[in-house]
Amino acid sequence: MERTEFFSEAAGRTINVPRHAKARFGIGDVVRHRMFDFRGVIFDIDPVFANSEEWYESIPEHIRPDREQPYYHLLAENDESSYVAYVSQQNLLSDSDGGPVGHPNVAELFEQFADGRYKMRRSLTH
């Protein structure tokens, strides 16, 4: 399998990744965590795990996801708060019928919510 590299600021190192990765979700999709009670809108995708080792090791071993899958950055919310989450593909489910996400930063990144997903602001696309 062909591989390439990119530098991850969150990890503080260069990450080796497959040249082609298959993400199940896209930027603007609304998703729900499979095990924990939160949902969010995807604003970035890493082709494999690209966060710090401390973050990865903090996940209990019996539920720790595989590194070799897409990881998603979410503007997330639950009943108590809004925050940014970093979640493996295996732990996400589509939540397009759940309505808009109430995270206070949604308007900074996205223009509108329609047909169960958000459209990224044109000024942020390339």
CB 50 within 8 A of CB 44: no
The structure tokens listed for 73 are: 């950055």
Model pLDDT for residues 10-29, shown as the tens digit of each residue? 888 888 888 878 899 999 99
DSSP for 105-119?
THHHHEEEEETTEEE
The structure tokens listed for 18 are: 């497959």
The residue with tokens 């696309």 is: 125
Model pLDDT for residues 56-101, shown as the tens digit of each residue? 999 999 999 999 999 999 999 999 999 999 999 999 999 978 899 9
Q: What is the pLDDT of residue 43?
A: 96
Is the pLDDT assigned to residue 126 strictly greater than 90? no
Q: What is the pTM of this model?
A: 0.89
Model pLDDT for residues 39-61, shown as the tens digit of each residue? 999 999 999 999 999 999 999 99
Q: Which is higher by pLDDT, 11 or 116? A: 116
